[in-house]
Structure 1
Amino acid sequence: MSYLVVAMIRLGVVGLAGIGVVAAALVVTAGVARRQRRFAVVDATWPLLFVLIAWASVVTGDGSTRSWLLAGLTTVWGGRLAWHLVGRLRGAGEDPRYAELLEDVPPERRFAVAVRKVFLTQGVVAWFVALPLMVAGTTDEPLGPIAALGTLVWLVGLLFEAIGDAQLKAFKADPTTRGTVMDRGLWAWTRHPNYFGDACVWWGLWLIAAEAWPGVLTVLSPVAMTYVLAFATGARLLERRMADRPGYPEYAERTSMFVPLPPKRP
């Protein structure tokens, strides 16, 4: 049997394992969402989907050093983000995104519609974005300088995301800042440091995978994640919700939307 055939079979096994763990996690999450009557719980599951895919790739792939590195980095990123989102969801109501999506749906059909438009969509997107993790699980080439660069980019992204979240949490907890717009720390350089950091994380993971063929072919995965974060359900959607808040137009005028840049002088 040729090397190409073996590689294709191995990639197929890893890909199916990824589908399996994503489906299982979303079925459990859908059950929790139905019991709580709140679909926002899927947000906490979102980063854990990548953690599950990464470790499924280690188990069903070659178990290479590259796949172990990717699984470890993904676990650190996904575990931190999931913990942060669980804390944000505690005591909160339905997310406005899902409330708006299901606003005109009869109550008896909301769960079915949410499964199709929220859970299934997120599962498909997560599997596609995680392609670098799965492809890396089928390669056994040693780590090199590009993997080191990817780890550095991942670290920059993780710090931007974690520090941005911590700064925003402290800002919201401060009663003296109530009614004002967060424009301090990283938020003075970009209006969405957490989303920018998330994008960097996935470009870093892709660089690690791209060092070994055919990981470079999965470049559309970080492109898709960046598009979702910057233009689809991430920054752009939040911008529309914040546009009417007092002080936000002025903040947006002087602060970069996504990529960190020095703030403009008023």
Structure 2
Amino acid sequence: MGSITTSTHNNLKNAVIAFLVPLPSILFYLTFLRHFNDHRDNIDSLSPLWKWCFDHPLLLAHVLFFFNVNVLFWLIGTIQSSHWMIDPYWTVIPVLLVHYYASHPLGHEYNVWRSRILILLTWVWSIRLSHNYFRRENWQWGAREDWRFTDMKQQYGKCWWWVSFFAVYLSQQVFLMGICMPMYAVHLENKQMNIWDFIGVAICLSGIVIAYYADTQLYEFVSRNSKLRELDEPVVPNLDKGLWRYSRHPNYFGEQLWWWGLVILAWNLGHGWMFVGALTNTLCLAYVTVLVENRMLKQDYRAEAYRLYQKRTSVWIPWFTSSTGEKDKNS
């Protein structure tokens, strides 16, 4: 009974922290907008601080990210000995950024419909990913941190308290701000929508749908195995049904489609160089894929099955099953 009460208390505490933690950035930005509206007719009369915020929307976003996410999240994570909060906020920060770019006074001349579609898509993507996160965590706030952070904590030992600032948070600024750059591009240009916008939107939607079904199939697979363990029955060593029959990581593939769909929107607006953010994220995810697969191969009950799965199934891009793996399986 006591453990249940403690768990409920921690869950409530972490939920409150998660809802309060972005308030410094939000309140600062709302204060800036209020000062701007008071001096709208004479921008030069703004104080140096608010004038700088007006002239440098991208730098302001980076500054807010640095202090509110990197510093504040890191301090909270260090105190709690768990850097769990960056995971749920990975799905929230893009929503905050797209509304920030859409509302910043310097970006007022843009195609409204393109902006609205992008905002709607970002909300759908965020709700989908947030739902998957909390479903996987049994609807708990901060029950555990990412296993990669736990592994790094053991690797760095006493140095982890300061290494975590760079490994967990500063790196996230590079990735998140980079892949969200197309959201900035959409609110820079007033170009009429064309066929490339619809292609980009279609790719984004396809990515959301694929990732949703892949994550749902994975969740159901893990849930079934958990029930089998409770019954002390043999578990299924590997998921190779549904989308997972054609790709070893269809959820990763869907997620990449989302970000590269945004790149098409930016390219169509003359900011093709913004592909760098998506490319960096893709390369990082390729490395994560290697880590995940190595972790699978270290689990004795599934190692052999997973090796066969690797031989016959595409890594990311869904493709037909290779007959090589089937022959090895039947031999």
Do they fold alike, i.e. is TM over 0.5? Answer: yes
CA distance in 2, matches of 1:87, 1:21: 30
Q: Structure 1 residues 30, 87: CA separation in 2 closer, same or farther (over 3 Å shift)?
A: farther
* Worse-superposed segment, 111-120 or 62-71: 62-71
Matched, 1:50 2:94: yes
Identity value in percent: 25
Q: Structure 1 residues 155, 11: CA separation in 2 closer, same or farther (over 3 Å shift)?
A: farther
* Counterpart position of 1:33: 77
Alpha-carbon distance, 1:64 to partner: 3.2
The one-letter code sitting in structure 2 at the alignment partner of 1:71 is I
Name which of 14, 17, 22 aligns with 2:65.
Answer: 22
CA distance in 2, matches of 1:153, 1:196: 11
Cα contact 2:185–2:269 (8 A) shared by 1: no
Unaligned segments of structure 2, at least 5 residues: 1-51, 229-233, 327-331
Task: Tell me the secondary structure at the aligned position of residue 182 of structure 1.
Answer: coil
* Counterpart position of 1:3: none
The one-letter code sitting in structure 2 at the alignment partner of 1:130 is C
Q: Report the RMSD for the aligned CA atoms in angstroms.
A: 2.4
* Worse-superposed segment, 144-153 or 34-43: 34-43
* Counterpart position of 2:118: 70
Q: Structure 1 residues 78, 27: CA separation in 2 closer, same or farther (over 3 Å shift)?
A: farther
Alpha-carbon distance, 1:27 to partner: 4.4
* Counterpart position of 2:28: none
* Counterpart position of 2:320: 262
* Counterpart position of 1:93: 144
* Structure of larger gyration radius: 2
Cα contact 2:175–2:277 (8 A) shared by 1: no
Task: Tell me the secondary structure at the aligned position of residue 103 of structure 1.
Answer: helix
Matched, 1:189 2:233: no
Matched, 1:243 2:297: yes
Unaligned segments of structure 1, at least 5 residues: 1-8
TM-score normalised by the chain length of structure 2: 0.70
* Worse-superposed segment, 154-163 or 30-39: 30-39
Cα deviations by residue, 1:204-233 (Å, 9 ceiling, x for unpaired) = 1111222112x222122222222222x223
Count of residue correspondences? 254
Cα contact 1:47–1:82 (8 A) shared by 2: yes
Q: How does 1:25-174 map to 2 (within 5 A)?
A: 25-60=69-104, 61-62=107-108, 64-65=111-112, 66-89=114-137, 90=140, 92-107=143-158, 109-174=159-224
Cα contact 2:111–2:190 (8 A) shared by 1: yes
Task: Tell me the secondary structure at the aligned position of residue 257 of structure 1.
Answer: coil
Alpha-carbon distance, 1:106 to partner: 4.1
